[in-house]
Structure 1
Amino acid sequence: MLRLTGVSKTYRTGAFGRGTTDAVRDVSFEVRPGEVTSLIGESGSGKSTIGRMVLRLTRPTSGTVTFEGTDVARLSGAGLKEYYRHVQGVFQDPFSTYNPIFRADRVFAMIRQSYFPRVRDDEWRERVAEAVASVNLNPDLVLGKYPHQLSGGQLQRLLVARALLLDLRLLVADEIISMLDASTRIDVLNLLADLKERGLAVLFVTHDLSLGNYLSDQTVILRHGAVVERGATEKVFGDPRHPYTRTLLASVPRLGTRWEDLPVPSSGIHECATPLDEVEEGHFVACFDTDGVHHGRKSESV
């Protein structure tokens, strides 16, 4: 459904734009219908930049992002509007999405104006109520409320309900639970899993490995804007081949273990420890030199 091929994004920096910063470097992966693909990496690894390029909020410097064979960067006008009928995003801070002087369900009215201007009032109210109920919210308790009267989890689920009013096929979920309390996170995660069961594709952007493992079918590990490892989630988490992936997994806090009992982590990850002939089919491993320059390698069958 979604394919990124050699995607890079370079920003101009410094006085008069004389410098450059590579936010994303030569990233390639696919998202299939009915699957959750997790983009995992530390802050600054390029996760959100990739999500923004998928949503056409920014354009790649090189490479292509295609949705069902169509280059997203080339869309404009009616074609771009149709693209947003199928592809929507939900972002990290739910409160920043809503205007505090308007009721929260104004986000539904904006969808109606753009895509369903001829739908009767009673029919539209019924559609909105069904969409809200489908994300495990009571329409009578949340509709008509202002953003400050609702929790972060409720606001996030309202944004998902807004997307479901369209012919949604791909949801970009960019750190959508990082600002939610622990009791609410599982509800939103289970909602994403339910969307997957309905056949929707989800690009799940997160820095939390445990969340990616809980939810995703495919995992892409990013470091310094480049893919260091990708493959089926059970392979990446069960048998990580890249030292950076191993370091990430080793840093996940575990119940019963205190920080002072953990070994001191080694500084720097500058080698690719896996010989090419040991890389399984469908498993990608990348290498970095001491300056952080990316050298991709993969099995011949990939």
Structure 2
Amino acid sequence: MLKVENVSKVFRSGAFGGKKAKVIHDVDFEVKPGEVVSLIGESGSGKTTVGRMILRLTSVSGGRITFEDEDISTLRGAGLKSYYRRVQGVFQDPFSSFNPIFKVGRVFRTIRREFLGDLDAAAWEARLTGALNAVGLEVAALDKFPHQMSGGQLQRLLIARALVLDIRLLIADEIISMLDASTRIDVLNLLGDLKRQGLSIIFVTHDLALGNYISDRIIILQKGAIVEMGTTDRVFGDPQHPYTRSLLDAVPHLHERWSDAELKDLGLVADTARFGGHLIEHRKDHLVRVYS
């Protein structure tokens, strides 16, 4: 569905752009329908830049990106609008995506005007209600200002904004890093529901535990280059690159399951997660550990 083929990115700075810095080095991967692929790396690894290139927010310096066999760099006008009906992004800070002086419903009215103007009122209301219900919100939420909603609620609204367009690929860039742990679990489970409905997701994160929890495949980035890629079980269970091993060594007990006695002593409960075979442990309202 999505193919990133030998993509590179060079940023220019200085007088007349004379200084060059290559930040993405020949990145190559694909995303299949209904698959969750995590881009994992430290700050500055290039994972966000890759996501922005897929969204056409940053230009590609070399290589190409195709979606459903179409080179996205060639898209203009109606073709680009069609692309954004199928591919959307949600970012780390939900508050920055809403104008604080307008009610949040304005975002959805803009989407209808720009992308879905051919829908009659009844069809639009049905689509809007369905998208909001899918993320656990009511239509009444649209009548609130951003400051009247929590970060988790705003993040859900941004996911609903994408769903109302019937997207096929979601770029989720550090979307839970600013949320409290209980809300994180809700958003992750929402992504799991969407995956089972056939949505493909690129999950951009620095958190290995979250990548382990949500992903079908893992891509490890270091200094703008892919150093390891494979299924989640293979990358986390049998890492081949020293950088991957160093990242995993920094996360104790990633695959270790606590005994029932330990859970009882610590006042923990274990819930079956909505992603294949993984469990989460939490103490009331905060996440303690994710393991497989």
Which deviates more, 159-168 or 208-217? Answer: 159-168
Q: Secondary structure at 2:240's aligned position in 1?
A: coil
Deviations 1:175-203 (A, max 9, x none): 11111111110111111111110011001
- Asked whether 1:9 is paired with 2:4, we answer no
Q: For residues 255-294 of structure 1, what are the structure 2 equivalents within 5 Å?
A: none
Distance 2:148 2:245 in 1: 42
* C-alpha distance in 1 between matches for 2:92 and 2:128: 23
Structure 1 residues 104-141: Cα deviation after superposition (integer angstroms, max 9, x where no partner):
1211111100122243334423321221011122333x
Q: What is the aligned partner in structure 2 of residue 174 from structure 1?
A: 173
1:172 deviates by 0.5
> SS of the residue aligned with 1:99?
coil
Q: Which residue of 2 aligns with 1:247?
A: 246
Letter matched to residue 143 of structure 1: L
Segment drifting more, 42-51 vs 130-139? 130-139
Question: Aligned pair 1:76/2:83, yes or no?
Answer: no
SS of 1:143's equivalent? Answer: helix
1:272 is matched with none
Cα RMSD between the aligned structures? 1.3
Amino acid at match of 1:77: G
1:48-107, Cα deviation, whole Å (9 max, x unpaired): 110011001111100010001111111111100000110000011000000001111211
Equivalent residue, structure 2, for 1:211: 210
Structure-2 separation of matches of 1:106 and 1:253: 44
Aligned partner of 2:85 in structure 1 is 85
Residue 201 of structure 1 corresponds to 200
Stretches of structure 1 that go unaligned for 5 or more consecutive residues are: 256-302
- For residues 85 and 236 of structure 1, what CA distance do their matches in structure 2 show? 33
Between the two proteins, the alignment pairs up a number of residues equal to 254
Tell me the residue number matched to 2:28: 28
Q: Give percent identity, aligned residues only.
A: 62
Equivalent residue number for residue 57 of structure 1: 57
Q: Which moved more, 1:204-213 or 1:121-130?
A: 121-130
3-state secondary structure, aligned to 2:124: helix
- The aligned counterpart of 1:109 is 109
In 2: Cα distance, 1:155 partner to 1:22 partner: 35
Could you tell me how far apart the structure 1 residues matched to 2:49 and 2:208 are? 19
Q: CA deviation at 1:254?
A: 5.0
Q: Which runs of 5+ in 2 are unaligned?
A: 255-292
| Corresponding residue for residue 19 of structure 1 | 19
User: Does residue 143 of structure 1 match 2:137?
Assistant: no
What letter corresponds to residue 42 of structure 1 in structure 2?
E
What is the CA–CA distance in structure 1 between the aligned matches of 2:252 and 2:138, rounded to whole Å? 35
Within 2, Cα distance between the matches of 1:126 and 1:86? 19
1:196-215 superposed Cα distances (whole Å, 9 cap, x missing partner): 10011001100100000000
The one-letter amino acid of 2:19's match is G
Normalised to the residue count of structure 2, the TM-score between the two structures is 0.84
**1:253 Cα deviation after fit:** 4.8
Amino acid at match of 2:170: L
Query: Residue by residue, what CA displacement relative to the aligned partner does 1:220-241 show, whole Å, maximum 9, x if unpaired?
Result: 0000000000011110001001
Deviations 1:8-39 (A, max 9, x none): 00001234322111111000001000110000
TM, length-normalised to structure 1: 0.81
Residue 283 of structure 2 is matched in structure 1 by: none
Q: How does 1:146-161 map to 2 (within 5 A)?
A: 146-161=145-160
